[in-house]
Amino acid sequence: MAKPLVAFYWCASCGGCEEAVVDLAEDILKVVDAVDIRLWPVAMDFKYKDIEAMPDNALAVSFINGAIRTEEQEHIAKLLRQKSQLVVAFGACAHLGGIPGLANVANKKEIFETAYKLTHTTANPKGVYPKTVTEIPQGKLTLPDFYDTVKSLDQTIDVDYYLPGCAPPPDLIMKAFTAILEGKLPEKGAVLTVDKALCETCERNKSKPDKLVIKEVKRISEVIADPEKCFLAEGIICLGPATRGGCGERCINANMPCRGCFGPTKEVKDMGAKFLSSLASIIDIDDEKEIEKVAKSVIDPIGLFYMYSLPSSILRRKQGVV
Amino acid sequence: MTEDSLPRIVGFLCKWCSYAGADLAGVSRLKMPASLVPIRVMCSSRVNPLFVLKAFLSGADGILVTGCHPGDCHYQDGNYYTRRRFALTQKIFKELGLEADRIRLSWISASEGKRFVDVVTEFTENLKTMGKNSIKAEIFL
C-alpha cells in the first residue's frame, strides 16, 4: 500500500516548530517509515510546482506552522489546503498568531520604518524599502506583499486540527502522528491536547494558599523565584490559570512562569481578557491610587496578556492604525 | 433631537445598588437622555472585560459599569474587584488603540436616583462630543 503523503510548511515562524519535528529524535525514523514527505522547505528539496501538479486531496495531511504575514504564505497555505485531506495548524503561531502576531500593534509602514531605517545598525540614507515589484534592466524582480495584519492560520484557511505550543512538545507531536496514521481522530477543530488549565497539573499548585492574594506585581527579571512556590502567590504573573495544559510544564520546571503558548481552553474566546479578569481578582488592594500604581507596574500588558494570542483575540489588532 | 443622534450606552448595573438607583430615578420621574441600554447584573464584579469588549465591538458608543459605593458592596468586596479589573481593562483599551474614555465606572447607591441621572447625562454629553464609535464595522465574535 502506498504511504500517505505528508507536507510540512512554515509561514511567519522562527523555525522552532521545524526543530520540534527533529526533536522527535529516534521517533522521527518511525514517522519517515510510515509516511512519504512531499514538501518540507526547511529540510528537503521539493518545489511548489510539484505540489501544484498534484490532484486535489492528494496529500493525507499538511502540517503548517507560523502565522500568515505575507502574500506568499497565504498562497501556499491555500494551495496546501486544496491539496490536503487534513490540515494541522502546528504550533502557537499557526494556532493563535503567536509572537509574530504581536506585530499587530503596528502596521506595515511602522514595521518597515523600524526594520529598514530606525534601528541603530541600519544605514539606509536613500530610504529604500522592499517593494512588491522592482524594475531592473534585466527585467522585473518581485517580492510577496507584506500585510498590515498578521493572521492565525484558521483566519486564512479551514483548519482541521491544532497542535498547540511554542514549540509543540515531541510527545504531543508523536501522539498526533499516531492518531492520524491510525485514523483515531477527535472531532474536527480539536486542539490535540487536554482541555484543562495548566494549574490543574502544575506541581506548584499544591503550594498555593487557600486564598491567593498579591499586593504587587513583580517581573521575573527582578526576583529569584522560589522553585517550589506558586508563581502567582509570589506576585509573579503566570498565565497558568488561563492557559490550556498538556505541555508537560516545561517552563515551570525551568522556574519560569507560564506565558500562555498553549492558548486558552475551549470555551474561552479571548485569553487576555480572561486572564486580566483573574489577575484583578487576586490583587488585594482596595485603595484607588494604589490600584493605579499596580496597573502601571504591569509593563507591556499586550505583550503579557496576549503574548501568543493577539491575532486570535476578539480585537485581533491595535485599532486605528490601518 | 432624533433617537439616532444619541450615543448608545450599554450599562451594566448592579442589582443591589445601581439598578435600584435607576429605579428610583424612574419612580421619581427624573428626566434623562434615552441613551442607556441597562443590563442588570448581580454584582458589578460579574462584568468580565470581555462583556465590555463585546458590547464595544457590537457597536456601543459607551460602556457604563456601575456598582455600590466602595465599602457598601452587597457581597462585601465585589466592587473592589471591579475597580481593579476596570483599571487594567482601561489600560488594555488604551494599548489597543481604543478610546478609554468610552468606558466609565461609577458608584451609584440605591438612594441616588439623582446621581444616576447625572452620571448618564454627563456620560451621554461626553460621548456626543467624541462622536460615534468608529470600530464597530467588523465583529469577529
Which domains are assigned to chain B? 3-130 (3.40.50)
Distances (CA, A) of A48 to A6, A61, A86, A223: 14, 16, 18, 49
Q: Which three cell numbers stand for residue A289?
A: 491610587
Q: Which pLDDT band holds residue A122 (cuts at 50, 70, 90)?
A: very high
Please tell me the distance from the alpha carbon of residue A227 to that of residue A204, in angstroms, as a whole number: 8
Paired residues of A39 in beta bridges: A7
The overall average pLDDT reported for chain A is 92
Please tell me the distance from the alpha carbon of residue A251 to that of residue A256, in angstroms, as a whole number: 5
**pLDDT (0 to 100) of residue B3:** 52
Residues 274-303, chain A: which have Cβ within 8 Å of B?
274, 276-277, 279-281, 283, 285-286, 288, 291-292, 294-295, 298, 301-302
Pairing type for strands B9-14 and A146-151 reads unpaired
B69 touches chain A (CB under 8 A): no
**pLDDT (0 to 100) of residue A292:** 86
Contact (CB, 8 A) for A77 and A68: yes
**pLDDT (0 to 100) of residue B1:** 45
A302 vs B contacts (CB less than 8 Å) = 92, 95-96
**Closest to A270 (Cβ–Cβ): which among B50, B85, B91?**
B50
Q: What ipTM was assigned to the predicted interfaces of this complex?
A: 0.81
Q: Which pLDDT band holds residue A1 (cuts at 50, 70, 90)?
A: low
Query: Domain A5-99+149-182: which CATH class?
Result: alpha beta
**pLDDT (0 to 100) of residue A296:** 86
pLDDT one-digit tens code per residue, A171-207: 999 999 999 989 899 999 999 999 999 999 999 998 8
**pLDDT (0 to 100) of residue A188:** 94
What dihedral do alpha carbons A159, A165, A166, A172 form, nearest 10°? -100
Between vectors from CA A322 to CA A320 and to CA B4, what angle results, nearest 5°? 45
**pLDDT (0 to 100) of residue A100:** 96
pLDDT over 70 percentage in chain A: 99
**Closest to B84 (Cβ–Cβ): which among A272, A285, A321?**
A285
A322 touches chain B (CB under 8 A): no
pLDDT one-digit tens code per residue, B59-114: 899 999 999 999 999 999 899 999 999 988 888 888 888 889 999 999 999 999 99
What pTM was estimated for this model as a whole? 0.88
Element housing A103 (H / E) = none
**pLDDT (0 to 100) of residue A64:** 97
Between vectors from CA A54 to CA A49 and to CA A58, what angle results, nearest 5°? 140
**pLDDT (0 to 100) of residue A291:** 86
**Closest to B50 (Cβ–Cβ): which among A269, A280, A320?**
A269
**pLDDT (0 to 100) of residue A192:** 94
Q: Which residue in chain B is spatially nearest to A318 when comparing CA positions? A: B96
Pick the residue with more confidence: A295 or A39?
A39
A311 vs B contacts (CB less than 8 Å) = none
Cβ <8 Å between B92 and A276: yes
A310 pLDDT higher than 50: yes
Contact (CB, 8 A) for A297 and A256: no
Q: Which three cell numbers stand for residue B60?
A: 456601543
**pLDDT (0 to 100) of residue A315:** 86
Between vectors from CA B123 to CA B120 and to CA B127, what angle results, nearest 5°? 135
**pLDDT (0 to 100) of residue A295:** 85
Contact (CB, 8 A) for A274 and A66: no
Cβ <8 Å between A280 and B81: yes
B50 touches chain A (CB under 8 A): yes
Cβ <8 Å between B49 and A273: yes
| Residue extent(s) of CATH 3.40.50.700 domains in chain A | 5-99+149-182
